[in-house]
Structure 1
């Protein structure tokens, strides 16, 4: 699709909520191995709150949808993931602005701003075994897809594929940020839950674009 509007953003959020609910136990299991063990439950609670607010609201632009997601996640999701993901959605919303439709360039700008928000908030970089390991390759793949002439949907598909690979790439890493960093070599062999949940959300965005 050449451009994506509010219906896409709403579908993205609802698909994200559904995939988080579906994989809640898996995400908490990943977190149990190297963190507090509550990532799935926290994120599910946050997205359930998001859906409840969407049911009572009528955001008119993609940016307005993402801002609602941001403020709700920040206020309802505990631990580090709430502020990090909330900042990602907030910066993405700011990049989208008041535009009613987002073309490929705007989608790249949205993803880049979201990634930069996570980096700024968490002070992490690729290789630290965090959600940045999903977001950064997603942004790079999105930029490449756009440069190759891809439309908004192609950009999101490339981002989702790269995020999934990025999440998988955290398996052999030693964590350098967050609670997992206290484990040293014991974190090796365990996937970062934030990277995995970020990959699920980016796949939801791509699936929503496909319709």
Structure 2
């Protein structure tokens, strides 16, 4: 039980932070749009990544600098594009924002692809899950999978709480002004994350 709880706390500590993935889950929760798919993809991705790290694949990823470099470049480009879309939505007039509140939004395919991009184009996710979680899990020897199960549980609890908690608040928050503010905040977050990736890459990955 101690090993499981340690994994749970570690998983939560790595996931509960402002990031592109969390901002996307929050937005989809407030829109009540394909939320089950979004949460499911996020959890499934962490299951795959953390399991791979526990199997020792993180050792390979840690030394494959060119893979992280390619992911960093793709991640910067994608985050800049998403920031542009979010900032443009946040600066639209009130009448357009009001119409957007009632729109269905992107279909299932684009939503799933965006969720995958927010997860898999972030090089830090590989360092956090495959390398860090994998390394910590293997320190527990025969109990390493129990540690990983705890970390996966932390991921599942967080994404469910964030997404479905946002959906529960979507009614009171369904106002054009708040939606514009949310889009602006998400846009700024994406810009900051893109700068962080680019600067980090400039110090040793580009």
Please report the TM-score for the alignment, with normalisation by the length of structure 2. 0.30
Higher Cα Rg, which structure: 2
Please report the TM-score for the alignment, with normalisation by the length of structure 1. 0.30
Point out the structure with the larger helix share. Answer: 2
Of structures 1 and 2, the one with the larger relative CO (CA 8 A, separation 6+) is: 2
